[in-house]
Structure 1
Amino acid sequence: MTLRLLCVLLLLITALLPRPGVAQELPRRVFVGIDLQGINDSIQRRYHLPDQNGILVRGVRPRSSAQAAGLLPNDIILQLGNAQVGSNVGEFIGQLKRYQVGDKVPFQLLRNGRKIRKRVAFTAYPKDNSPFYDVQYGSVTYGPNQLRTIITRPKSSSRAKVPLVLFIQGVGCFSVDNPLSRADATNRILDSLSRHGYATMRIDKTGMGDSQGTPCLESDLRTEAGGYKAGLAAIRRLPFVDQQNVFITGFSIGGVMAPLVAQGENLRGVVVYGTVSRTFIEYLLENKRNQCQLQGLPYDSINSLMRTYSAALHLLLQEKQTPAQVLARYPAARRLLTFPQHYTYMQQWQDLNLPALWQRLDTPVLALRGAADYISYSVDHQLIADAVNRAHPGRASFVLLPDVDHHFNRARDLAEALRMDERPNPEKNFEFMRVILNWLDEKQKA
């Protein structure tokens, strides 16, 4: 083999190899289009069911696979393909994720007391679109996970290169790719940024949306943070991004992720909203007592609950015991140790020294909290500003926002915010975006 031919072959092989952190194209997830609910006692009685296995169809989305196949609200899904359906909605969603666009799958349903079968041809989930931005779907890899990235580029900007905001969402297993609901809070934030000339990137957690890899409920905090770091690396390769003006916004636990993801990065600024900066145990104990008092529980009952909770949290988060080990000693803590992600995720949160991470950041920081937020506390946001400013004077500020809660609902105080959670469509207050946009504009580097 000649040297020239060998070089050509090596170039071809190199071109075919995936670049580190860059994944091959991710397939679009299927658009089943059903709103689900597990079978509880009242549903079991209403439909005269022998047990609680099955999933109730609460609603069917227009133009979805389910609508095309003839599924209806109040159908009960008993079997998916050859598999019986249990009572756990999360497990059922996991069953659905095994299928791809184009698959035709039989559903066994219970409708009006009679078993019927429907064949569902799975179509692709619609892609995001907006009058304010163009959308680019991509992906990044971190460890065993291939994560969906959604990049938006503002249509209104006349600049060749535009600033970009990496959006980091809150805790829990859900998708930030929801094109069917423009009123979704994430979409409204992205629209605001786009109208103001900012590109954005959001990243779906592993196992959520189109993302593939470790199921979200089994993943941990460090792995999730690594996915956002991979997203920042991908941002550096975008030719239309002004690399001197890249920002992070972190909402809720996104504000815990933000200083971890920002380490070693050349960022123009970081904005956090409704977050935590103390140890996780400190936060959980205050939050549990505060919410119990808002719910009107007797003070002696709260005291007893807190004794159990603090002991159980110490074993789980500090001693690194498993939930099963903790519950063997404190069985009354079962309802207290329910977290939206894996317990190792929470243990890693406890291990973070968040003030140390913040004070290492030599970048502008804005900490925001809604005055009606009963999930986060001003002390955490002031601590962020103090930690940054002690190391880098004048770089950080804390702003308390009136009439808004953790979920961007319009509320005057903590008690009203708690009641808002029970309303189907509470009024939103997005004035916080005006504060964020003004701050981003001010911090941009010309």
Structure 2
Amino acid sequence: MKSLIFVIAFLTFNVSSGQSKTGNLERRADVKVKMKFNMPGILITSVPTTSEEYKNGLRDNDLIIKINSHNIKTNNQYLKLIRSLRSNRKYTFLFNRKGHIKTIELTFPPKQKEVVEELDIDYGTFTTNYGYKVRTVVSKPKSKETLKKLPAILFVQWLSCSSIESRGSNHGFSNLIWELSKSGYLVQRTEKFGVGDSEGPDCSELDFTTEVNIHREALEQLKLRDDVDSENIIILGGSMGSNIAAMLASENKDLKALMFAGGYYKSWHERLLDFERRRMEYGNKEPEEVYSKMKLYSEFYAMYFNEKLKPSEILKKKPHLLPVWPSKSDLQYGRSIEFYWQANDTNMGQVWSAVSQPILALYGEYDWVMDKEDSQRIIEQSNHLGSKFIILNKTDHNLYYYNDINSTKEAFNNRSKVPNKDISAQIVNWLDGLMLH
């Protein structure tokens, strides 16, 4: 997708009318059923008996055929649909139950907003230069001193199209954000287009340039807040968001510090080849298979990035590369090919070198998604004496903690649901040592 300088349809399958560019954002639906794409259709795997879905007639193993007369034929259509559902709208479900076709109408309640006893959590919005409203979520410590200005952190999130709203205190990044707020920081998160309550095209249509621009605008909005000490703003990136955070820090010399967990220094092309090798090795693939597959990946990604060919175009020319791209979609990890082309065309070594602020690099000992050497190199080439590299013991890419010292296999399979609760203290100690406020 080209950068958003033209109007794009909000949803490919138009399950509901486009959102208004004025007024308040509609709240996303509180979907309680567990489901999965069934090619075609959506298979309902679990329906809580207390849910609206159960009360209105959905049951385990129902196969959703259509929603508002639109078929769900691909996994991407399914994911777009789930992200598009809004509360207090009526949806018509056509489904198959043991060979019998049934129809129900269903209205979802609004998703409950975050509530933390020690925090004030504000759901805001701003209209981007693209004309779409986006959701912001700001958390800060509760205080009777309502006029007090706080040091602030802008959080820039990961690659995936998942929401920045909390999934509870047991979620790695959610726990970190809440703990930083409890420590005295105002923390702002910003939803991507088409995610959570945000308007705009679906996240799968979003390119890298546009996503970076959304965070640029979010930073300017944060600077304007009455409760923010504009001379003490820090930026924190998670995973892919680490590199976007570095871009913003290099452009905004007034930011006081840059912190990240799981960034990269090389080109995205190089980083992706490293990732594919680690993925196979952690998956216990035989050395011969790793060797032969890496030759195919090298050939595939050279055409992908250097020739700017989509996977479907590559496979048409070279069908022997099918083993490294069995998917029928041109999306990768739910994102557009244009997103990765633009990310790869960004010289991250140059970006990191242009960051003049102190940098804190956090790297999970069990992080197989990103390369530890990249984080080390970023700190080694930093021009600021306050920059620091911290290994998070027994911690994975998503900031989950593992008790067993031999848990690399469990970390590869994302088996922990216990966040590393020591990270916020390490961050605060580092910031206090810099005497930023």
TM-score normalised by L of structure 2: 0.85
Q: Does residue 192 in structure 1 map to residue 179 in structure 2?
A: yes
Letter in 2 for 1:289: R
- Aligned pairs for 1:228-247 (under 5 A) are 228-247=215-234
Letter in 1 for 2:155: F
Q: Report the CA distance between 1:185 and its aligned residue.
A: 2.7
Partner residue, 1:82: 69
Partner residue, 1:434: 425
CA distance in 2, matches of 1:410, 1:183: 10
Partner residue, 2:212: 225
Q: Report the CA distance between 1:249 and its aligned residue.
A: 0.9
Partner residue, 1:118: 104
Tell me which of the two structures has the higher relative contact order, counting C-alpha pairs closer than 8 angstroms and 6 or more residues apart. Answer: 2
Q: Does residue 212 in structure 1 map to residue 199 in structure 2?
A: yes
Q: Report the CA distance between 1:166 and its aligned residue.
A: 0.9
Letter in 2 for 1:32: V
CA shift digits 1:352-382 (9 cap, x unpaired): 1112112222211101111221111221011
Partner residue, 1:161: 149
Partner residue, 1:138: 124
Q: Does residue 92 in structure 1 map to residue 78 in structure 2?
A: yes
Q: Does residue 378 in structure 1 map to residue 372 in structure 2?
A: yes
Q: Report the CA distance between 1:290 and its aligned residue.
A: 2.4
Structure 1 residue matching 2:137: 3-state secondary structure: strand
- Aligned pairs for 1:49-68 (under 5 A) are 52-60=39-47, 65-68=52-55
Runs of 5+ consecutive residues of structure 2 not aligned to the other structure: 1-20, 326-330
Q: Report the CA distance between 1:307 and its aligned residue.
A: 1.3
Q: Report the CA distance between 1:263 and its aligned residue.
A: 3.1
Q: Report the CA distance between 1:417 and its aligned residue.
A: 3.0
CA distance in 2, matches of 1:213, 1:334: 33
Letter in 2 for 1:31: D
Partner residue, 1:339: 332
CA shift digits 1:2-36 (9 cap, x unpaired): xxxxxxxxxxxxxxxxxxxx975322123233222
Partner residue, 1:173: 161
Letter in 2 for 1:295: G
**Percent identity of paired positions between Structure 1 and Structure 2:** 25
Structure 2 residue matching 1:263: 3-state secondary structure: helix
Q: Does residue 128 in structure 1 map to residue 114 in structure 2?
A: yes
TM-score normalised by L of structure 1: 0.83
Match of 1:349 among 343, 358, 365: 343
The answer as to whether partners of 2:296 and 2:324 remain within 8 angstroms in 1 is: no
Q: Which has the larger radius of gyration?
A: 1
CA distance in 1, matches of 2:344, 2:183: 37
Q: Report the CA distance between 1:316 and its aligned residue.
A: 1.2
Cα distance change, pair 156–142 in 1 and its aligned pair in 2 (3 A): same
CA distance in 2, matches of 1:376, 1:156: 39
CA distance in 1, matches of 2:208, 2:88: 34
Whichever structure has more helix as a proportion of its residues is: 1
Partner residue, 1:365: 359
Q: Report the CA distance between 1:276 and its aligned residue.
A: 0.7
Structure 1 residue matching 2:382: 3-state secondary structure: helix
The answer as to whether partners of 2:170 and 2:419 remain within 8 angstroms in 1 is: no
Structure 1 residue matching 2:258: 3-state secondary structure: strand
CA distance in 1, matches of 2:303, 2:72: 35
CA distance in 1, matches of 2:314, 2:321: 8
Structure 2 residue matching 1:137: 3-state secondary structure: strand
The answer as to whether partners of 1:156 and 1:195 remain within 8 angstroms in 2 is: no
Cα distance change, pair 62–353 in 1 and its aligned pair in 2 (3 A): farther
CA shift digits 1:133-189 (9 cap, x unpaired): 21222223142543211112211585811111111111111111246x443333212
Cα distance change, pair 89–327 in 1 and its aligned pair in 2 (3 A): closer
Letter in 2 for 1:123: P
Q: Does residue 417 in structure 1 map to residue 408 in structure 2?
A: yes
Cα distance change, pair 194–97 in 1 and its aligned pair in 2 (3 A): closer
The answer as to whether partners of 1:308 and 1:330 remain within 8 angstroms in 2 is: no
Q: Does residue 297 in structure 1 map to residue 276 in structure 2?
A: no
Letter in 2 for 1:36: M
The answer as to whether partners of 1:166 and 1:202 remain within 8 angstroms in 2 is: yes
CA distance in 2, matches of 1:258, 1:423: 25
Match of 2:237 among 250, 253, 264: 250
Q: Does residue 203 in structure 1 map to residue 200 in structure 2?
A: no
CA distance in 1, matches of 2:409, 2:340: 24
CA distance in 2, matches of 1:321, 1:198: 44
CA distance in 2, matches of 1:295, 1:96: 30
Match of 1:106 among 92, 113, 117: 92
Structure 2 residue matching 1:172: 3-state secondary structure: coil
CA shift digits 1:322-376 (9 cap, x unpaired): 2222222333434535622111111112111112112222211101111221111
Partner residue, 2:315: 327
CA distance in 2, matches of 1:229, 1:23: 21
CA distance in 1, matches of 2:87, 2:286: 53
Between 1:259-268 and 1:435-444, the stretch displaced more is 435-444
Partner residue, 2:299: 311
CA distance in 1, matches of 2:359, 2:138: 23
Between 1:259-268 and 1:249-258, the stretch displaced more is 259-268
- Aligned pairs for 1:36-47 (under 5 A) are 36-39=35-38
Cα distance change, pair 144–217 in 1 and its aligned pair in 2 (3 A): farther
Partner residue, 1:388: 382
CA distance in 1, matches of 2:429, 2:22: 35
CA shift digits 1:55-91 (9 cap, x unpaired): 11123468754244232333221222223343x3431
